[in-house]
Structure 1
Amino acid sequence: MDFLIPDWPAPVNIQARSTTRHGGVSAVPYTSFNLGDHVGDDPVAVATNRNELRTYLPAEPLWLKQVHGRGVVNADEAQGIPEADGSFSRQAGRICAVLTADCLPVLFCDRSGTVVAAAHAGWRGLADGVLEAAVEAMSVEPGEILAWLGPAIGPQAFEVGEDVREVFMAHDPVAASAFMPSAFSGAGKWLADIYLLARQRLARAGVTRVYGGEYCTHTDTERFFSYRRDGLTGRMASLVWLDPL
């Protein structure tokens, strides 16, 4: 199984991983390491894939029912499968996780290694403030937070309408720099840089130590699932936890 490991200066007790589509048992079109149990894949295959992932982890991840909102739950107290788009933890071995296939996964830790968080940021959640909610939930100085931007749809592939651009512009006119006119569909369509939008939102929240942001799930068909590209497809997981040293 392939993992992406964040290239960030996290403390030694912070562990983080992001899966690719390789290493599982799911059949086409979920080939092969699909971890999403809500996308139509064979439940047995999903369970097998999750069990394989579990062998690399100290505990079962806290899976979420993601709704493209801004809700962030305390993973140390959560029961079942909470409806939320982020979680945080101060407990060693408690794993915060989000599932994506074009949306942006963002992993967080503080420089002292006392708290971690994970957020699922599609454009709606990003615009609604899910990253700011995760930062607030961590309850540390934003300047002490490190953030890693995991694999998401890249700026040359993420075409959106004027309505999306207006939502971000209404929050902060600086967001204009994250949109370029699209050559694909003509007037009224824009190419959005979700990585830049995330960096802008994090900067306004006081988080300036931001890493990652070099992938494109849409164009890298070999490594990543992409909902925008394929429609019916699997989901990858991005996970972060405090290591029970």
Structure 2
Amino acid sequence: MRTTLLRSGSAIAAAMGIALAASAGTLFHDDFEDASLDSVWLLDHPQNGAGDGPPVWVHADGVLSQTNPKPGDPTYAVIEGDGWPESYGVVAKVRLDEWEDHDRSRAGVGMWLDDTDNFQGYTWLIHERLTDTNMEFLNDGRAWFGAEETFEVALGDWYWVKASIDAGTGDIMGKVWPAAAGDHDPSTTAEPADWMSTFAFGGFGGVRPPTSRAGLNGGAGTGGGFSTASFDDVFVYDGDGPDVLTAVDAAGKASTTWGVLKTR
């Protein structure tokens, strides 16, 4: 089952005259179980540098995979939202399928993607290596944030990759942790309490305009680099993180459920 919510939950609630539970923060969710992708996904967009042909996104068996090892830069599966708050986050399950250590090898999640700038934005990535100083933020086409963190990953294993951007404080934050193949709700997993990396995003390549577009970064190979990746259970959220989005009345009793997470 897929839940697609293209307006801020708080905006919808205000329009309906109801309150939201504090943990209710899911703006968008896709588990890729439907036979075809929702029209909210944009898989073909302009790039700065061409690879060996365009990205090849394949939707099959409940996952979305980017299968061209050198797809060009940037390569995003873009979620075209509508009316999201400026501060939001993205979390998705990511699996590296093929990899060669190289600056152009990468996979992760992006925010504030700009359709006037080849859909570049801020992105939190597994980058360059699998075992050492391999987690890093990038302001696409402008600047790496530096101060790389280390989290060992293995080909064929799933990981939750999570990033959040706060327009009020000017901070961008990221973390990563292991996922089981059967995990579909990040709130039920052993998510680390602390962010792995936190930066003032304006200090690296300048401030990008907030947008209601997020995405899955599926690689950046051009002349060098070689990587492919798969994605599942993608959430865009506000507040403290993704959860079942439930409208509640003044007494705090659940009255309407707008979205549910998939179960298997």
TM-score (norm 1): 0.29
**Looking at both structures, which has the greater relative contact order when contacts are Cα pairs under 8 Å and sequence separation is at least 6?**
2
TM-score (norm 2): 0.27
| More strand as a share of residues | 2
